[in-house]
């Protein structure tokens, strides 16, 4: 019997909450790039470096949704095109406390340009509670400026409900006829 596998990709700059967001909805303890794990699990050293964070949602014996988080540091090294193969959508997390969230948005939407055109993007803005400007309206305008149609939500990456809302928006954008 074949197993159906789908993939959702989480991307964004370092510290935007990708690992945390995946962890919030993953069925398994996520496998992290050592960039994150080194501080938290020093006792587990030595570690194997992995290319991406990884989490999983099992829907049954034969259906799995794989959650991949891109390493935030590898802005110039990462092979974005490989990662997106087989993906159903992209969740872009942006940290509102970073110096230039617009530049971050531009970089990542450009890196995944082809994929976004074919599939679906959802944007989650983190740390708006710490830094209220720019606001959600600014992000909407920036997306328009970049000719991208995508939902933008304020989220707390630690909050399962918020991360679920991002996935919900992604799935409904792909198919508004989905029922629950």
Partner 1 sequence: MLNSSNNPLKVALLSISPHNRAILEFFFAGAGKSIFQIVAIKEAEALVVDFDHPGARQEWEENIRISPIPAIVLSVKECDVENTVWVPKPLTSQSLVQSATQIRQVLPGNTHSTDIAAGAEKQRTASDMSSLRELLDSQQKDKQVFGLSGWQQRERVKATASPIFAAAGVAYEEDDSSVSAVEKPDDSIAPADEQLIGTDDVYVPEPLSDDEALPGDSSLQLGQVTTPDDSEQDQEKQQQRWDLLCGQATQRVTAANWQESTQLYTPENYLLNSLIDALNLSRTSKQYVQVILDSGNYMLLMPDVNLAYSSIDLYSELFTDVCGTPLQGGKVKLHLPSTTELSELEEVVVQDARQTYDMEGLIWTTSLLTSHGRLSRNADLSSPLRLKSWPNLTRLEQFPDAMQIAALWHQKAGNVFDLSEWLDVPQRHVIAFFNGAHTLGLFEVNQGEDEQEKQAAPKKNRGLFSRLLKRLLGGGKK
147 binds partner 1 (CB under 8 A): no
Rounded to whole angstroms, how far apart are CA atoms 150 and 116?
Answer: 9
140 binds partner 1 (CB under 8 A): yes
Q: Under a CB-based contact definition with an 8 Å cutoff, are residues 87 and 115 in contact?
A: yes
4 binds partner 1 (CB under 8 A): yes
Closest CA to 120 of 175, 81, 56, 180: 175
Closest CA to 134 of 163, 105, 157, 107: 105
Report the nearest approach of partner 1 to the CB of residue 100 (Å).
19
The number of residues that bind partner 1 (CB under 8 A) is: 86
Q: Among 16, 21, 22, 83, which residue sits at the site for partner 1 (rule: CB under 8 A)? A: 83
Report the nearest approach of partner 1 to the CB of residue 94 (Å).
14
Among the candidate windows 13-21, 43-51, 96-104, which touches partner 1 by CB under 8 A?
43-51
45 binds partner 1 (CB under 8 A): yes
- Chain-centre distance of CA 138, in angstroms? 20
E strand or H helix that includes residue 153: strand 152-154
List the x/- string, 9-38, binding to partner 1 by CB under 8 A. Answer: ---------------xx-xxx-x-xxx---
28's CB contacts (< 8 A; 6+ apart) are: 55, 56
List the x/- string, 50-69, binding to partner 1 by CB under 8 A. Answer: xxx-x-xxxxxx-xxxx-x-
Report the nearest approach of partner 1 to the CB of residue 19 (Å).
13
For residue 89, cis peptide bond before it (omega within 30 degrees of 0): no
């Amino acid at each position: 019997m074949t197993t159906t596998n789908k993939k959702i990709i989480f991307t964004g700059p370092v510290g935007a909450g990708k690992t945390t967001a995946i962890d919030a909805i993953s069925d398994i303890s996520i496998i992290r790039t050592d960039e994150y794990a080194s501080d938290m699990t020093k006792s587990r050293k030595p570690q194997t470096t992995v290319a991406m964070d990884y989490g999983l949602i099992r829907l049954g014996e034969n259906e799995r949704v794989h959650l991949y988080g891109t390493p935030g540091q590898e802005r110039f090294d990462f092979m974005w095109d490989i990662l997106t193969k087989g993906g159903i959508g992209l969740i872009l997390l942006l940290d509102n406390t970073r110096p230039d969230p617009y530049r971050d948005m531009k970089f990542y939407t450009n890196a995944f340009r082809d994929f976004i055109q074919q599939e679906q993007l959802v944007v989650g803005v983190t740390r708006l509670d710490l830094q209220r400007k720019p606001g959600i309206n600014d992000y909407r305008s920036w997306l328009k400026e970049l000719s991208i149609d995508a939902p933008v939500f304020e989220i707390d990456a630690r909050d399962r409900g918020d991360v679920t809302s991002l996935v919900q928006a992604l799935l409904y954008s792909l198919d508004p006829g989905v029922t629950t």
